[in-house]
């Protein structure tokens, strides 16, 4: 049984949002800057991501949205500025150290392990565990097989939730672009992240599948997961994200609900009226 | 069957075993983790030199016939254990230089350069391992303790090689079937995605470089103790590509594929050419060996890149049924995603 693509869960979302306002933000980005050679990709970017929200990050091409995701996740080192996660400074840390803290990301181009099956992709997504040590590999299989069985159950549950158990043992390299997006999302779910960074999760995805992914994201938000999502499709952003951060030319232009942003002339001029959106 | 033929075949079986250990070590690094270790022969060479130096008496004992560092006259099996340890330890500086910070293609170039430097160093520093002449008179294991015919000794050495093969198989199989092996295969496909999931790809590759290096070192130790001599001409950089060809022909990421490759390439091609009638200029058949090996590599890369016995798919059966949560109907999802 599916939920209608148009049906979100406003009550649960609003409750989560109201609760999150009382807590310090999960992620605080302050004065973040980064340049590639002489090109300033991001400058003085400042915004918060609150608990239990899907915060949208929108802007025209070249606005610096994906660079911000790369800076938060450690893929790119910031030139200056601060990224605080749960109050701890994480700017400049390496990607795996940041992921260890509970920040997991997806990529602009679906980044799956093509030589692994879908199920194996999900198993790699699980948080690091003892069975992955060399000593476990050279020891008795019984020492880690029980934990792996638990992870397999969890992976099968996620696959069933997405209706993809039929491709569990297919190589990820054999999947369509949309399926790869789903695998990446499911793999991120296996990690049970505190903050999920989504870099254009609907890019190149069939609209019907995009609606299905949107429903899954709302379910995840209602279950308490926090997300920061870069997205060009404004109807999806309006459905999913509150608040929304608008970037242009590497800096944060405005922040608020989509309704608020649509009445902001500066935003309309920079993006909404500029035809850069979806 | 004549005793000469039996002696030849037992020697061939020993060489097959030694190559098998080396190829399984490379399979861990290249087949599983995707490391283009074009310096692989250096790990085998280091193991060979280590075994030699641990087994030989000090150079003075041989009347200055050769010059080298050390000469510890250690009993069996310590030289072989030392060979594996040196091969593994060598992975640390090599990994720090070539694995960290460099992209896969530059890693390959760095490895090749390291291989050339190592050969140059061994040849230029005559006091290190007797320069370009190399080491000779390396004691064989258990000689002086067991008193048997040359053929009888071959059987003993074959047993030793088989034991080492079993050890190498246990290490390679354990790693490739484990969650650690799965992580290595993930690193092979996407380093950035592995890092984004909280694992350090450099550390993972370093671990497998050490494990593969130890197997290469062990194979080098066995080889040196069998042939009793070792010099730079035995481990020139093209030898690395002999192992790569064996792995690509047999099938990387598959222990059986590595075994088939070991049988077909270093034993099959090289040994078959020994039985060709001499023709052309002296050394022409040796040169043709490399032409045939190179052609094999290219043909397989073009037409069968996964080898004769490709990596096996790991299939998991469905577990318990889902306890709850929103389900999307399978048919609807297939329509959405275009899956079969």
Question: How confident is the model over B5-35, as pLDDT tens digits?
Answer: 999 999 999 999 999 999 999 999 999 999 9
pLDDT at A21: 61
Higher pLDDT, B64 or A63: A63
Bridge partners, A244 (sequence order):
A56, A256
* A29 touching chain B per CB within 8 A: no
Whether residues A191 and B197 touch (CB distance < 8 A) is answered with yes
Confidence class for position A3, pLDDT limits 50, 70, 90: very low
Q: What is the pLDDT of residues A147-172, one digit of tens each?
A: 999 999 999 999 998 889 999 999 99
* B110 touching chain A per CB within 8 A: no
Task: Please say if the pLDDT value at position A204 is more than 90.
Answer: no
Q: What is the pLDDT of residues A107-144, one digit of tens each?
A: 999 999 999 999 999 999 999 999 999 999 999 998 89
Distance from C-alpha of A170 to C-alpha of A178, rounded to nearest angstrom: 15
Q: Please classify residue A101 by burial: count the beta carbons closer than 10 Å to its beta carbon, then call 0-12 exposed, 13-18 middle and 19+ buried.
A: middle
Q: Rounded mean pLDDT of chain A?
A: 88
Query: Cβ distance B186 to A190 under 8 Å?
Result: no
ipTM for the assembly: 0.88
**Residue at token pair 């992870």:** A151
> How far are the Cα atoms of A10, A202, B159 from residue A262, in angstroms, in the given order?
20, 22, 80
Distance from C-alpha of A7 to C-alpha of A215, rounded to nearest angstrom: 8
Distance from C-alpha of B195 to C-alpha of B187, rounded to nearest angstrom: 9
Nearest CA-CA partner of A250 in A95, A16, A45, A1: A45
Nearest CA in chain B to A160: B327
Residue B172, CB half-sphere, CA atoms under 13 Å: how many? 32
Give the distance from residue A130's alpha carbon to the nearest chain B alpha carbon, in angstroms.
9
Contacts of B2 (CB under 8 A, 6+ apart): none
Whether residues B195 and A99 touch (CB distance < 8 A) is answered with yes
Distance from C-alpha of B51 to C-alpha of B89, rounded to nearest angstrom: 14
The b/e string for A4-21 (b: 16+ C-beta within 10 A; e otherwise) is ebeebeeebbeebbeebe
- Interface subset of B 283-322, CB within 8 angstroms of A: 311, 313-316, 318-320, 322
Q: Which two structure tokens, joined as six digits, stand for B124?
A: 């230029």
Whether residues A178 and B337 touch (CB distance < 8 A) is answered with yes
Whether residues A116 and B199 touch (CB distance < 8 A) is answered with no
Nearest to B316 among A136, A152, A175 (CB): A152
CATH 3.40.50.300 boundaries in chain A: 10-112+192-272
Q: Which two structure tokens, joined as six digits, stand for A273?
A: 């009226």
Residue B308, CB half-sphere, CA atoms under 13 Å: how many? 18
* A169 touching chain B per CB within 8 A: yes
Residue A73: its chain B contacts at CB < 8 A?
196
Question: Which of B333, B334, B335, B338 to mutate to probe the A interface, most A CBs <10 Å?
Answer: B333
Q: Report mean pLDDT in 10-residue bins for chain B, 340 residues.
A: 90 97 98 96 97 94 88 95 98 91 86 93 91 94 89 96 98 96 97 96 97 98 96 92 96 96 92 81 83 93 96 84 38 38
**Taking the C-alpha atoms of A9, A14, A15 and A18 in order, what is their torsion angle to the nearest 10 degrees?**
160
- Interface subset of A 109-138, CB within 8 angstroms of B: 111-117, 119-121, 123-125, 127-129, 131-134, 136-138
Whether residues B192 and A75 touch (CB distance < 8 A) is answered with yes
Task: Find out if CATH 3.40.50.720 is the number for domain A10-112+192-272.
Answer: no
Pairing mode, if any, of strands A80-85 and A88-89?
antiparallel
Task: Please say if the pLDDT value at position A2 is more than 80.
Answer: no
Question: By percentage, how much of chain A surpasses pLDDT 90?
Answer: 71
Whether residues A168 and B179 touch (CB distance < 8 A) is answered with no
Nearest CA in chain A to B193: A111
Nearest to B178 among A137, A182, A187 (CB): A137
Nearest CA in chain A to B168: A138
pLDDT at A37: 83
Whether residues A212 and B315 touch (CB distance < 8 A) is answered with no
Confidence class for position A39, pLDDT limits 50, 70, 90: confident
- Interface subset of B 119-178, CB within 8 angstroms of A: 170-171, 174-175, 177-178
- Interface subset of B 173-212, CB within 8 angstroms of A: 174-175, 177-183, 185-186, 188-190, 192-201, 207, 211
Distance from C-alpha of B82 to C-alpha of B141, rounded to nearest angstrom: 14
pLDDT at A191: 94
Query: Cβ distance B247 to B262 under 8 Å?
Result: no
- Interface subset of A 183-222, CB within 8 angstroms of B: 187, 191, 206, 208-209, 212, 215, 219
Whether residues A123 and B182 touch (CB distance < 8 A) is answered with yes
Whether residues B340 and A166 touch (CB distance < 8 A) is answered with yes
Whether residues B338 and A152 touch (CB distance < 8 A) is answered with no
Quote the Cα angle for A253-A256-A260, to 5°.
100
Distance from C-alpha of A142 to C-alpha of A157, rounded to nearest angstrom: 23
Phi, then psi, of A44 in degrees rounded to 5: 50, 45
Question: Which of A7, A70, A93, A96 to mutate to probe the B interface, most B CBs <10 Å?
Answer: A96
pLDDT at B320: 56
Question: Which of B183, B185, B198 to mutate to probe the A interface, most A CBs <10 Å?
Answer: B198
**Taking the C-alpha atoms of B58, B60, B63 and B65 in order, what is their torsion angle to the nearest 10 degrees?**
60
pLDDT at A5: 34
Whether residues B193 and A209 touch (CB distance < 8 A) is answered with no
Range with the poorest average pLDDT among A6-10, A192-196, B59-63 = A6-10
Q: Which two structure tokens, joined as six digits, stand for B268?
A: 């099959």
Task: Please say if the pLDDT value at position A216 is more than 60.
Answer: yes
Whether residues A160 and B181 touch (CB distance < 8 A) is answered with no
Question: Which H, E and C letters describe chain A, residue by residue?
Answer: CCCCCCCCCHHHHHHHHHHHHHCCCCEEEEEEEEEECCEEEEEEEEEEECCCCEEEEECCCCCCHHHHHHHHHCCCCCCEEEEEECCEECCCCCHHHHHHCCEEECCCCCCCCCCCEHHHHHHHHCCCCHHHCHHHHHCCCHHHHHHHHHHHHHHHHHHHHCCCHHHCCCEHHHCCHHHHHHHHHHHHHHCCCCEEEEECCCCCCCHHHHHHHHHHHHHHHHCCCEEEEECCCHHHHHHHCCCEEEEECCEEEEEECHHHHHCCHHHHHHHHCCCCCC
Distance from C-alpha of B84 to C-alpha of B79, rounded to nearest angstrom: 9
Q: What is the DSSP string of B45-108?
A: HHHHHHHHHHHSPPGGGGTTSS-BS----PPTTHHHHHHHHHHHHHHHHHHHHHTSS--HHHHH
Range with the poorest average pLDDT among A191-195, A205-209, B204-208, B224-228 = A205-209
Whether residues B330 and A163 touch (CB distance < 8 A) is answered with yes
pLDDT at A239: 93
Give the distance from residue A263's alpha carbon to the nearest chain B alpha carbon, in angstroms.
35
Give the distance from residue B177's alpha carbon to the nearest chain A alpha carbon, in angstroms.
8
């Amino acid at each position: 049984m599916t939920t209608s693509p148009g049906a979100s869960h406003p009550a649960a979302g609003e409750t989560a949002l109201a609760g999150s306002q009382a807590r310090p933000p999960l992620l605080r980005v302050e004065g973040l800057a980064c340049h590639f050679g002489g090109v300033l990709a991001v400058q003085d970017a400042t915004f918060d991501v609150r608990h239990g929200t899907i915060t949208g990050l929108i802007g025209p091409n070249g606005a610096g949205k994906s660079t911000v995701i790369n800076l938060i996740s450690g893929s790119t080192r910031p030139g200056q500025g601060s990224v605080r996660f749960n109050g701890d400074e994480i700017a400049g840390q390496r990607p795996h150290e940041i992921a260890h803290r509970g920040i997991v990301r997806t990529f602009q181009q679906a980044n799956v392990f093509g030589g692994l099956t879908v199920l194996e992709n999900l198993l790699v997504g699980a948080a690091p565990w003892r069975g992955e040590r060399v000593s476990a590999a050279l020891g008795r299989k019984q020492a880690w097989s029980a934990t792996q069985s638990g992870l397999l159950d969890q992976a099968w549950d996620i696959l069933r939730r997405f209706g993809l158990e039929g491709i569990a043992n297919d190589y990820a390299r054999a999947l369509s672009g949309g399926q790869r997006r789903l695998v990446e999302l499911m793999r991120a779910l296996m990690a049970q992240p505190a903050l999920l960074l989504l870099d254009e999760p609907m890019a190149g995805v069939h609209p019907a599948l995009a609606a299905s992914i949107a429903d899954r994201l709302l379910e995840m938000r209602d279950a308490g997961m926090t997300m920061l999502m870069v997205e060009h499709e404004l109807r999806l952003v309006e459905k999913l994200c509150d608040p929304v951060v608008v970037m242009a030319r590497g800096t944060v232009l405005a922040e608020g609900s989509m309704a608020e942003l649509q009445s902001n002339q500066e935003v309309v001029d920079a993006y909404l009226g500029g035809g850069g959106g979806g | 069957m004549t005793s000469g033929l039996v002696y030849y075949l037992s020697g061939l079986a020993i060489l097959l075993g030694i190559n098998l250990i080396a190829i399984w070590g490379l399979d861990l690094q290249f087949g599983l983790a995707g490391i283009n270790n074009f310096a692989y022969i250096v790990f085998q060479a280091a193991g060979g030199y280590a075994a030699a130096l641990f087994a030989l008496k000090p150079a003075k004992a041989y009347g200055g016939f050769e010059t080298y560092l050390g000469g510890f006259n250690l009993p069996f099996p310590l030289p072989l254990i030392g060979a594996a340890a040196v091969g593994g330890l060598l992975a640390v500086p090599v990994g720090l230089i070539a694995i960290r910070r460099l992209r896969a293609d530059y890693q390959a170039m760095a490895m090749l350069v390291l291989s050339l430097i190592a050969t140059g160093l061994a040849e230029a520093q005559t006091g290190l391992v007797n320069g370009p002449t190399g080491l000779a008179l390396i004691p064989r294991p258990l000689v002086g303790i067991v008193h048997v015919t040359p053929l009888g000794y071959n059987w003993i050495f074959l047993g030793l090689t088989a034991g080492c093969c079993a050890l190498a198989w246990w290490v390679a199989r354990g790693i490739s079937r484990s969650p650690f092996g799965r992580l290595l295969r993930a690193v092979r496909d996407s380093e950035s995605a592995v890092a984004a999931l909280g694992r350090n790809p450099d550390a993972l590759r370093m671990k497998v470089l050490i494990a593969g290096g130890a197997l290469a070192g062990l194979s080098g130790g066995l080889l040196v103790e069998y042939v009793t001599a070792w010099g730079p001409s035995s481990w020139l950089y093209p030898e690395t590509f002999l192992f790569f060809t064996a792995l690509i022909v047999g099938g990387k990421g598959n222990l059986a594929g590595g075994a088939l490759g070991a049988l077909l390439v270093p034993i099959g091609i090289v040994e078959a050419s020994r039985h060709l009638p001499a023709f052309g200029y002296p050394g022409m058949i040796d040169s043709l060996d490399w032409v045939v090996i190179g052609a094999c590599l290219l043909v397989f890369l073009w037409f069968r890149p996964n080898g004769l016995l490709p990596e096996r798919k790991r299939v998991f059966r469905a577990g318990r049924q889902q306890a709850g949560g929103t389900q999307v109907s399978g048919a609807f999802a297939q329509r959405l995603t275009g899956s079969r």
